[in-house]
Structure 1
């Protein structure tokens, strides 16, 4: 057995760093992400989901993969091109990672296409949602669509020739194109490229059904043809006097990882705006080509884009499945998940002033099961309350038509001091955030763009109010963005509190973010990049010592990703000491559970379901003096070293019991959507025992949303909960409701 080190503050090696023995302790980050996206694909393959929800998962799988290539694969290709010897803890080279990524993705892409063509598309047609090939349409329908094409789409199109007098055309990032072969009576075969204007027209062009087609139940018939199919069928209008031989769809993915020279930029906003243009023109990292494309065309594209053949992925149509998300938004309730209405705490259900409610006791919200409305109300009331003096807030991903931003503008109009820290470097939201920053500045809000060399990812809002007893700070802290849209599909925890100590910490944090304060410790908060890693490591070590003395050590974490080497090694030390550890990691997990003598007491599960599991919770049993930290940070080097993050304690024992008993432990009991990570890196479904009904955590949360509020608001004492009594993941999946036995 490996002897654990006692140096908890640094997560020092209990075996030599970089050795073969240590590398065997870690999964590769990129391959772990691919395993996560595979679980997304499994949801599309799951025929128990309503049909349009399966379409949604197919689109999410594709969207995730686009971003993975633009950022992660692009980074590996850069390392390979620049011959940088930089290896992750698992020891894989960039070359070996790229090869393994391709080997894993090819069968997944086959599954995606098979799912679409063999299952989803036929079932859509049976449900009245038809995606036709242009060639299968009647002559009258073709004539009608051709007239529409000539009238609306044709004027926008610009075919670009490629020959001795025309250079190979530039192909922008994620643009859908046609590679066109035409026959010129004088010149012979010629090549042209045509960009499909997906941004100007929907990817699926809808048209009216034939008169003899009956209407289906639940929302009527829908008939579509792919935009590229419509264009390809009418290319003769673009090449008069020539014969169009064939047209093949393809798409190029480019490096979109912005490299901003912040230290050299005189203005951060201008630097980011200039860097955003590089996404369109970054180096190619992937080409998706129609499977029917002749090898000669593939070779020509490879040669002129300067890429290697293994960067080509041959696919069946439709290329760019992310665009199929538009189908998920159809008004077809019969093909979608049943809607539900989020709950609101009874104390907030009658539009009374929110500040006295928070003053009486902390408020806990668990979205989307609890409404995001109270957060908006918190800002709206602060904007109009004459006793509110100031509002300070961080904004990472805001979304469009934001009521949060509207409230900040209204607050400034009403004479409040308003400060908004908008993280301009929030990836793929830079343009949106720049727009909001300018709008807030025009309204007179003090706008801070973020910090040089570091992203501000913390989710916090501070309201300063004058009351009879003096100045009171009201705070909202959360695990998710201030985005009303994503709050309906992301699971996130929010806390509203008037805690004096937390309020003082938040004031210090904003002084650091907006001024020159250098703070190395906080009263209640853990803050990255200063104290989160050390705080987590110290608590793990505390649990080790407790277990060595009393044998009751227990740790349970729920997060999006576990990558940080020091934290993983600390969890291994805890497991070696006998501490039982339950980890629920939705996405990337580089820790290997179940290794003999190293991680035998560690269980890792992942839930991928209707909602995106986004909350981060860190629970330490601590001999019965339980501690729960909640916040914005995953255990990844980027979060702990290169972002401003916060973890906040749940101080109200009643709320702590709710988080532990009714949220964290309930998720650990899932036997419907949970997958268990095995020592070899594969995942298997967690199943109920024979005869038991699968327990779906997310559905349970929908059915029992807000059931703890009456107990909390009446100051009733919750039953003591011991996590050691939780049944194993392969157990019955039964869940105890307070005072009502098991269900």
Structure 2
């Protein structure tokens, strides 16, 4: 039980992760535009955190629930979240207002306000407002008797007009999805000057209300975050799509979890919003003028590429030629792909070749999140048109991608692809593609397995590892897994694969038990586990038991880590670090060192209860000894990072891991150089 061993609350741990993102924005060695992007990522992360995790806590409070297993009180956690967020937001405001804005000005890039404009610029913007913006602005009048359903995570104006002592209120949606949030203002000084869409609207607000009389007008920004958890109370798969579509509509009316508002908003207007939005006390967040800062991920800098990270040329994979068939080399041996260091074109080529090769008879693939203009989907459509049997196992419940995946569901079905939606209550999170090819009298199987999604966009910024193989044991297991998925049946006795929801937890425990037994016999053993999140309490307890048996444990955890290192009697031999850098660390790696040999698995699953109990996941072994050595070396590179690694300890201070003397090591840079050197040697 968690009250018998130390566990950090997962929500508070998540906030520690988002603080690490904020640290990147504060890091002066990071290029200026990238620092702004990290602020945008921090803001985007926080919005999703409120719409999901904080929303769940509010549901627990409303239902008077208490998580007895870890013994936390939802109300107390909500209060701690508010305190932490207010503290982090102050750091955020300081970074942008006092640090990054000044650096932008030093680079002749200015974010203008109305008072900064020349007469010519004001005239230019008025014309731009009349021609491009005004037509999108339609105020909604509100009163005590009528208040509209306000969209979540969109920027709004609360507008107050007075005429002869009487007040009228209205709300305006800021149309940043149809008009760019940023607009470059021409000038004669050679400077790059930007003004925000919302500031342009404020300047010419009077022009929006020409149909009514008023003596005074004022407007204040605000945005809300709604509970975005979907209520999918359905037990029959044939009704699932209908229920999902309804839930997506209902999501727009979810409980308001957070109200971010202009800190200058009069108390009377804030009280009015509160009365109609019914925000809990912990949900009020006063803000400066830069709400929905996530938009700054696309902040325009013109041709100032020197303010961003220098582009890195993706590497080739020795032995694989994109201009030739991939099946022949994969038939001979296994190949790893390390993203984004090596080009994702190999994956695209593997699926494209499968779609057009006359010898390929069947393609099976799992799809969780795909790119907006997905080459993967297009290849599957072509494969079906070429008469191949294509089985796409699509997870339409991928959070915030539900609408997009419903679209892909329709497109794939119309093309003749067999689309399987799977179990209503168990998400399909595994990443695999199994291809059957006719080679003479036999039917050969080839597969690509990965720690990340089939998404060419995120493959450029997410660190994942994939495996191309024709290993018969692996492909036989995959054949059985896909056959089960067609019937929503899950198996637990594969020869090589470790899968959830039935066997992953148990097999993982068996690996740890083996290490414990060897350690108790005096053999020096260890494990390295790399993941996005570690929150499952039973896994944490198992790691504590291994610690007490003398097993040395190194954890590389990017996000949430509920295990607390350095606790006497629990975790003296457990070392935890987190790497936040240019790319998002996304790979899941399990390395079990038994003294005389090691086992290495790559996995789609984090060590979270949802992944182990309520998702279809795959952990696959690295059989080839050379490839095991490669991953082992790359894990050592990660562990040596003393530039972008943070120490996760009981104090939760996010201290950088630093070496007092010696060489500076940066895992992402060193990984690229390792793979580049290896390519040149071969």
TM-score by length of 1: 0.89
Separation in 1 of the partners of 2:624 and 2:141? 69
1:262-277 alignment, distance < 5 Å: 262-263=234-235, 266-277=238-249
Separation in 2 of the partners of 1:264 and 1:376? 35
1:79 equivalent in structure 2: 60
Separation in 1 of the partners of 2:657 and 2:543? 23
Worse overlay, 622-631 or 486-495: 622-631
1:139: how far off? Answer: 1.9
Separation in 2 of the partners of 1:143 and 1:169? 34
- Go from structure 1 to structure 2 and tell me whether the alpha carbon gap of 1:538 and 1:328 turns closer, same or farther (over 3 Å shift): farther
Worse overlay, 617-626 or 585-594: 617-626
2:556 to 560, 575, 584: 584
Separation in 2 of the partners of 1:699 and 1:243? 61
1:412: how far off? Answer: 1.2
Worse overlay, 265-274 or 287-296: 265-274
1:575 equivalent in structure 2: 547
2:134 equivalent in structure 1: 154
- Go from structure 1 to structure 2 and tell me whether the alpha carbon gap of 1:298 and 1:356 turns closer, same or farther (over 3 Å shift): same
Q: Once the two structures are superposed, what CA deviation does each residue of 1:371-426 show, in whole Å capped at 9, x if it has no partner?
A: 11111111111111111110000010011111111111111111111111111000
2:367 to 368, 376, 395: 395
1:237 to 190, 204, 207: 207
1:264: how far off? Answer: 5.3
1:168 to 113, 126, 147: 147
1:720 equivalent in structure 2: none
2:46 equivalent in structure 1: 65
2:526 equivalent in structure 1: 554
1:260: how far off? Answer: 1.2
Aligned length: 680
Worse overlay, 487-496 or 190-199: 190-199
1:41-120 alignment, distance < 5 Å: 41-87=22-68, 89=70, 91-120=71-100
2:440 equivalent in structure 1: 468
SS of equivalent to 2:110? strand
Matched, 1:409 2:381: yes
1:454-465 alignment, distance < 5 Å: 454-465=426-437
1:213 to 161, 175, 189: 189
Separation in 2 of the partners of 1:689 and 1:564? 35
The question of whether the paired residues in 2 share the 8 Å contact of 1:53 and 1:328 is answered with no
The question of whether the paired residues in 1 share the 8 Å contact of 2:140 and 2:170 is answered with yes
1:192-211 alignment, distance < 5 Å: 192-207=170-185, 209-210=186-187
The question of whether the paired residues in 1 share the 8 Å contact of 2:237 and 2:424 is answered with no
1:148: how far off? Answer: 1.8
Structure 1 gap segments, 5+ residues each? 1-16, 215-220, 715-743
Matched, 1:673 2:651: no
Give the CA RMSD over aligned residues: 1.6
2:9 equivalent in structure 1: 28
Separation in 1 of the partners of 2:272 and 2:548? 57
1:553: how far off? Answer: 1.3
SS of equivalent to 1:628? strand
- Go from structure 1 to structure 2 and tell me whether the alpha carbon gap of 1:342 and 1:329 turns closer, same or farther (over 3 Å shift): farther
1:7 equivalent in structure 2: none
Separation in 1 of the partners of 2:300 and 2:319? 36
Matched, 1:689 2:674: no
1:294 equivalent in structure 2: 266
SS of equivalent to 2:319? helix
- Go from structure 1 to structure 2 and tell me whether the alpha carbon gap of 1:635 and 1:103 turns closer, same or farther (over 3 Å shift): same
1:516-527 alignment, distance < 5 Å: 517-527=489-499
Separation in 2 of the partners of 1:308 and 1:30? 18
1:267: how far off? Answer: 3.2
Matched, 1:179 2:143: no
Separation in 1 of the partners of 2:395 and 2:626? 34
- Go from structure 1 to structure 2 and tell me whether the alpha carbon gap of 1:517 and 1:177 turns closer, same or farther (over 3 Å shift): closer
SS of equivalent to 2:675? coil
Separation in 2 of the partners of 1:540 and 1:361? 30
Separation in 2 of the partners of 1:610 and 1:709? 23
1:616-655 alignment, distance < 5 Å: 616-655=588-627
1:319-330 alignment, distance < 5 Å: 319-327=291-299
2:515 equivalent in structure 1: 543
Separation in 2 of the partners of 1:483 and 1:239? 45
TM-score by length of 2: 0.97
Worse overlay, 636-645 or 382-391: 382-391
